[in-house]
Structure 1
Amino acid sequence: MKLLMEIFLAPCQLLMKKPILVSSCLLGCRVRFDKTSKPLPKECLVVLEQKFNIVGVCPEILGGLPCPRRPAEISKNHQVLTQSGQVLSTFFLKGAHGALNICKNYGIQLAVLKSKSPSCGFGKIYDGTFSGCLINGNGITSDLLIKNGVKVINESELDAWLKTVKE
């Protein structure tokens, strides 16, 4: 009888877990501009998988950009540009709206996004000069999600945040 209950409850518990949006590159997908990933530490990923239904997304890919692609930064006039001046804002906005639609469709209220990214960055992003300097600000997707009530944290905050999550 106990085994039958475990078999029955396992799918139900899966349905009870809240969904969480996570940058695909943090999940190990090679979708960054240089076709690399920046995976979370295994122990963080295990805890996330235990507590949440993970929905991975790369807004830049979702917006139609290829992989690999030229690096981009947000300029002072709020355009997303490559170092050669190619304007990519439309792709970034399309991807941000796609990520927001995913959040709305799945009832996602929390996103763990890649720091410093022109899409996913939260709190600090590159200054648009391609000099490696950081400024206060958010990426296009982070900004849109926040404006629509989704809590955003970056991967450096994840470990501390997970310790606050109740079972």
Structure 2
Amino acid sequence: GYSINDVAENSTFLEVAWLLIYGELPSADELSEFDDRIRHHTLLHEDLKRLFDALPHNAHPMSVLSSAVSAMSTYYGDSLSVHDPKQIELSTIRLLAKLPVIAAYAHKKSVGQALLYPDNSRGFVENFLWLNFGLRAEPYVANPVLIRALDRLLILHEDHEQNASTSTVRMVGS
């Protein structure tokens, strides 16, 4: 195994995602290909985007996220078989690519701001910040310290393996 301190200090969210999927840290070529595959899938189907218009502006972001993820299966029927490793891998890539976009759309909807398209010239975490805090009419440059801090936070959550309620019960019970 790897020390979470070493991984958080020396890796990125996508490197750790690879580690959790494939069991080892990626080579530079593997990471580049993985990053390219994720960038390829960041756009949401335009019909799926309309789902956000149908939801109330004050809907809880987790409800919006859950609804959108559930609806994804109706748009991406080519990766639904739990018995086909290639389809599982494609679904995993799509979820990694689209969840930040969906989460940002849920946030934008809740604050009444226009949804932004992903900007694949940005890194994974920087793009997530852009989608959440960027505005169509203004340039957005994320602070590199914020990018790295969020990247580390995502790594720590990636490694967590438990939901919040499970952790709370375990802490209270111990």
TM tier, smaller: under 0.3
**Bigger share in strand:** 1
* Greater relative contact order (CA < 8 Å, ≥ 6 in sequence): 2
TM-score (norm. length: structure 2): 0.25
TM-score (norm. length: structure 1): 0.26
